Amino acid sequence: MRAVIFLVLPLLAAGPAAAESLYKCTDAKGAVSIQSEPCPAGSTQAWKRDATPEAGPSVEELAARAALADAEARR
């Protein structure tokens, strides 16, 4: 179990991903697109949404899960 924690810790230390947004655009012909860049000229923006992924579990949560799994395995 400790090996799993040591493998996961570097991934958590990498830091959060950059915040991104999604745009829903409608062009002059009525075609709808959802894209990661702002709507081009001549199209209408229907909405803009935050597309930042949710944060994963904290180091403490991972350690607690590992301890619980280890305790379950010992039973």
**pLDDT tens-digit readout, 21-61:** 999 999 999 999 999 999 999 999 999 999 888 889 999 99
Q: How many residues does the chain have?
A: 75
For 46-64, give one letter per residue: b (16+ CB within 10 A) or e: eeeeeeeeeeeeeeeebbe
- Model-level pTM greater than 0.85? no
Q: At what angle do helices 59-74 and 2-13 cross, to 10 degrees?
A: 170
Q: What does the pLDDT read at residue 29?
A: 95
Higher pLDDT, 24 or 5: 24
pLDDT bracket for residue 13 (50, 70, 90): low
Alpha-carbon distance 73 to 75, whole Å?
5
- In this structure, the dihedral spanned by the alpha carbons of residues 7, 13, 19 and 20, taken in order and rounded to 10 degrees, is -20
Please report the pLDDT score of residue 8 as a whole number.
Answer: 46
pLDDT, residue 62, reads 93
